């Protein structure tokens, strides 16, 4: 937990990295090279376990956006001009 800001952040980051690792293992025989391989020698073949170990060792970080965000929701104006009943 000391590598991330919150539990939600840890879940989000580990799930995203696990999908990347799973994609890497799925495309191994195709030679495409579209995914980053595991950044450590895994003791297991489970993508989520590998992702959590990478985060714990500090090998995976989130790139932060530098532009400010107004908020999670956007207000959409009613084009009809009528107020709701």
Report the distance separating Cα 50 and Cα 22, nearest Å: 10
In a domain, 16, yes or no: yes
Q: Which domain holds residue 52?
A: 7-56
DSSP string, 1-33: -TTSSSHHHHHHHHHHHHHHHHHHHHTGGGT--
In a domain, 15, yes or no: yes
pLDDT of residue 28: 82
In a domain, 69, yes or no: no
In a domain, 23, yes or no: yes
In a domain, 42, yes or no: yes
Residue 71 Cα to chain centre, angstroms = 20
In a domain, 14, yes or no: yes
Measure the CA angle with vertex 27, ends 25 and 32; round to 5°: 130
In a domain, 75, yes or no: no
In a domain, 67, yes or no: no
Quote the tokens at residue 6: 């919150």
Selected residue with higher pLDDT from 22 and 74:
22
Domain count, the chain: 1
Condensed to tens digits (0 to 9), the pLDDT of residues 2-33 reads: 667 788 888 888 999 999 998 888 888 776 66
pLDDT of residue 71: 52
């Amino acid at each position: 937990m000391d590598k991330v800001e919150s539990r939600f952040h840890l879940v989000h980051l580990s799930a995203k990295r696990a999908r990347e690792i799973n994609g890497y293992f799925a495309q191994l025989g195709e030679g495409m090279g579209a995914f980053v391989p595991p950044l450590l020698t895994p003791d297991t073949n489970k993508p989520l376990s590998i992702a959590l170990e990478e985060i714990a060792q500090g090998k995976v970080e989130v790139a932060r956006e530098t532009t400010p965000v107004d908020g999670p929701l956007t207000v959409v104006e009613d084009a009809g001009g009528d107020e709701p009943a």
